[in-house]
A = this chain, B = another copy of it.
Amino acid sequence: MAEHIMEDLSIDCVIFGFTDELKVLLVKHGEGISKGKWALPGGWITYEESLDAAANRILYLLTGVNNLFLEQLKAFGSVDRFPTKRVVTVGYYTLIKDTDYDVVAGYTASDVQWFSLDEVPELPYDHDEILSYALDQLKSKVKQEPIGFNLLPEKFTLLQLQNLYESILQIKLDKPNFRRKILGMKLIVDLGEKQNNVSHRAAKLYKFDQEVYQALKEHKFVLDL
């Protein structure tokens, strides 16, 4: 398979993970010119696969993470972005619940690890630029589509949902106003249950309303937080 490789085109993936806080998945290069360095999971595209397919394959090979819906960012094509030859790379990103996946270093990766966003080490090539571009995309995406369906447990509290938004958008929100907004969208449904084992007043548990969730996802909207 790896024989028919497009020499000057690569893929780089920005995999954001969330549980409690926003993280990004990096791999340690086990060979090549960046051996020992942490970088975005990336690799070469073959002639027989689409870009989307290549992104998924590469991510799986390096990290063991499979079957994600990866969204393309754009192509990064500065002349000198790669040191040894001219390479244009196509960026992809997605956001997942990191605890849902077992990450396993594979292929040319000697290690894989989630990094909290403010602990990301220095990245090679233009990976800083790609990561920062991806973060901007993520933020704007979050305001145009509901998120959380895959990121929160089945049953969650309003505060958990609020923390999710606060982590991604990196802002603080007013609790009563956030409730009002979210409840007003009919996006989530009161389950009539409460948390337990918490050392304070227990909050109601909610779940997403599948139908409303899908509808909001397709029709788009603007979430003004």
Contacts and interface: CB of A to CB of B under 8 A. Distances in A.
Interface of A: 6, 8-9, 45, 47-52, 54, 72-75, 77-79, 86, 88, 90, 222, 224
Contacts of A8: 6, 8-9
A191 to B, nearest CB: 33
A76 to B, nearest CB: 8
A137 to B, nearest CB: 11
Given A8-B8, A9-B9, A222-B222, A77 B90 contact: yes
Contacts of A52: 77
Contacts of A50: 77-79
Nearest to A81: B50
25 contacts: A6-B86, A8-B8, A8-B9, A9-B9, A9-B88, A45-B77, A45-B88, A47-B79, A47-B86, A49-B79, A50-B77, A50-B78, A50-B79, A51-B75, A51-B88, A52-B77, A54-B77, A72-B74, A72-B75, A74-B74, A74-B75, A75-B75, A77-B90, A88-B90, A222-B224
